Structures are given as structure tokens and as C-alpha cells.
Amino acid sequence: MPETNNRPHRSGFAALVGRANVGKSTLLNQLVGTKVAIVSSVPQTTRHRIVGVRTLPEGQVAFIDSPGFHKAQHKLGQVMLERAREALGEADVLLVVVDASEGIGPGDRFVLEQVDPPRRKAPVLLVLNKIDRVNKGKLLPMIQAGVEEWGCREVVPISAIEATNCDRLLERVLEHLPEGPALYPPDYVTDQRERELIAELIREKLLSRLRQEVPHAIGVLVDQIEQRADGLIGIGATILVERESQKGIVIGRRGTMLKEVGTAARRELEERLGEKVFLELWVKVREGWRNRLTILRELGIYPGG
């Protein structure tokens, strides 16, 4: 077994769990060191189980980002909750992420009850995120509650968006992992397939521009990826909505919204792929798609997709 500075090499899985919109995906990107998950201010942004891998000389951590715990209102929500609960059983270390700027509220307590730190074999670390928005005097009661009331192994205050104390959190996660060789090749970063990455990037650009109920009713299917004769990578994708009124909002007046989304998505795709991209987007109405397992399979959200 490899060792670094006479210390055993460690590797394993660390799951990020918490209620919706506490910053798990932003934290995942910080811990991995590159963008592997889309980020937005819209609750329930993460729909898939995403693995992001960080390889260091002293060890390798495979972080599992799962959908946030929330009250499911359709089959999509139910599947997302299943992914979140599955993550609890897969991990060697559990990171319960809380929005410290809002305190430990009912939603966080529900998550902690599901995790049940004192009875769980895997060590549980309570991660107090968004400390850049919190008076330091308010952190101490939360730290005490994490250890004394909930029985977490440790409490680590951080700011994922500013990367404050994220290195410290990474160190603590590594310390709790079992000894063993790397689980993935050293250059492995994420388990997301190319089509999933493209679809998620397009959805991210939509989420950042849409409001109210529309973001939750959007799905993105990548229909084709091909190398064109002119040297460009041709990508065609369909944006799913549930109502005609939503279709109009996504397209925008004279197509302005769709064009803006397409331009932003194309630029990031070119940056990530290192090649020029020709991106075509279509918008289609699929009534009640969030309750249709066939479509959830196509989106890769439901098993068998």
C-alpha cells in the first residue's frame, strides 16, 4: 500500500447531503478543484447523483453529490429523494451541509434525523456553509449543537463560494477515510458522461435566467453530437417544458431568451471541450413530463436511462 511521508494512503467515498439549496454543488466543485456540477440559486438544481474525484499524493476522495432533501410533489422529486437516501449508504464519510446564514432549521433537522450520526458507522461531519454571511458569534451555538445535540464527529465552518476553510475540510475528510489504494485513475474527475455534462450546462444557463415555477419544469435532452465537415462539433438539444406558456417564456420575445441561453452555453462548451461548437436548441412541450418515467429514463434520472 503506498505511503506519503510515512503516512498510509487513504481512499474512499464522501457523500454531501443536506436540504435543497444549501450549496452542496458549489462545495463539490471547490473540493474537486474544477467544475463538475452546475450551480444556481434555484432550489433542487441537482437532479442526478454526481461523483467528483479529487486525487492528492496522500489519498483520493470520491465525493458524491446528491439531490437535496425536499418535499416531493411528483415522480421526479421522488426519484431525486431516492438518490439522496442512497448516498447515505454508499459513503465512508458523510458531510451534512447546512446553510449557516439561516441557522439549523426544520429542514436541516430532518436531514440529521435521516442521517442519525450517533448510530451511523460512517463518521458524520457537520459542514456549516456560507459563513461569509454569518456573524462569528452565531457560529458557536451551531457548532455546539452539531456535537452535543446531534452527535456529529466534527463540525467544520466553511464558505464554499469563497473557498474559506475548504482545504481544512478536505484534510478532515481524508483523515476519516479507510487506508487503501486509489479507486480511480489519477486523471479521473467525474463519472458524468459527455451528454449529461452538455445537458446540465444548458440547463444551468436556463436556470440563471428564468424565475418562478419555470426552472423546475425544465429538462434538457441532448439529441446529437457529431463532428461536422466544417470542423465544428455539432450539438443538438431539446429543452422540455410542461406548458405552452412556459415554452413562450423559454423562447422569449422574438427568440431573444433562447438565443441568449444558446450563446452562453456554447461559449462554456467551447471552453470545456477545447473546440468550436455549433449549438442548436429546440423547445418542446411534454405535458407532465416530471411524472413520466419514460422521459425520466431518457434524461438519465431514473434507472435504466
Buried b (16+ CB within 10 A) or exposed e, 142-151: bbebbeeebb
pLDDT at 133 over 70: yes
39-64: pLDDT as tens digits: 877 776 777 788 999 999 999 999 99
- Give the strand pairing for 10-17 and 7-8: unpaired
Question: What is the average per-residue pLDDT within 289-298?
Answer: 91
Task: Indicate the pLDDT class of residue 20, thresholds 50, 70 and 90.
Answer: confident
Q: What CA–CA distance (Å, rounded) separates 94 from 121?
A: 10
Which residue type occupies 281? L
Q: What CA–CA distance (Å, rounded) separates 166 from 131?
A: 12
Q: What CA–CA distance (Å, rounded) separates 32 from 46?
A: 16
pTM confidence score? 0.87
Q: What ranges do the domains of the chain cover? A: 3-176, 194-298
Q: Please, what is the end-to-end C-alpha distance for the chain in angstroms?
A: 37
pLDDT at 19 over 60: yes
Q: Could you count the other beta carbons within 10 Å of the beta carbon of residue 84?
A: 23
C-alpha cell at 165: 476553510
Question: What is the average per-residue pLDDT within 144-150?
Answer: 95
Question: What is the average per-residue pLDDT within 111-115?
Answer: 92
194-298 has which CATH code? 3.30.300.20
Question: What is the average per-residue pLDDT within 217-240?
Answer: 95
Q: What CA–CA distance (Å, rounded) separates 242 from 15?
A: 32
Question: What is the average per-residue pLDDT within 121-141?
Answer: 94
pLDDT at 231 over 70: yes
pLDDT on residue 305? 44
pLDDT on residue 10? 97
Order of strands, sheet of 93-99, starting from the edge strand that comes earlier in the sequence: 50-56, 59-65, 10-17, 93-99, 124-129, 154-157
Domains 3-176 and 194-298 share a fold: no
Q: Is the dihedral of CA 189, 192, 196, 199 positive or negative?
A: negative
Q: What CA–CA distance (Å, rounded) separates 285 from 218?
A: 10
What percent of the chain lies above the pLDDT cut of 90?
72
pLDDT on residue 181? 96
Q: Is the dihedral of CA 249, 255, 260, 265 positive or negative?
A: positive
The architecture in CATH of the region 3-176 reads: 3-Layer(aba) Sandwich (3.40)
pLDDT on residue 71? 67
Q: Are the CB atoms for 24 and 98 separated by under 8 Å? A: no
pLDDT at 67 over 70: yes
Between 4 and 257, where is the model more confident? 257
pLDDT on residue 54? 98
Average pLDDT for the chain:
90
What percent of the chain lies above the pLDDT cut of 70?
95
Task: Indicate the pLDDT class of residue 72, thresholds 50, 70 and 90.
Answer: low
Q: What CA–CA distance (Å, rounded) separates 158 from 69?
A: 21
**Cβ contacts of 301 within 8 Å, gap of 6 or more:** 47, 48, 76, 79, 80
Name residue, grid cell 458524520.
Answer: 124
pLDDT at 285 over 60: yes
Question: What is the average per-residue pLDDT within 265-292?
Answer: 95
pLDDT on residue 3? 52
Spatial CA neighbour of 90 closest among 16, 23, 25, 152: 16
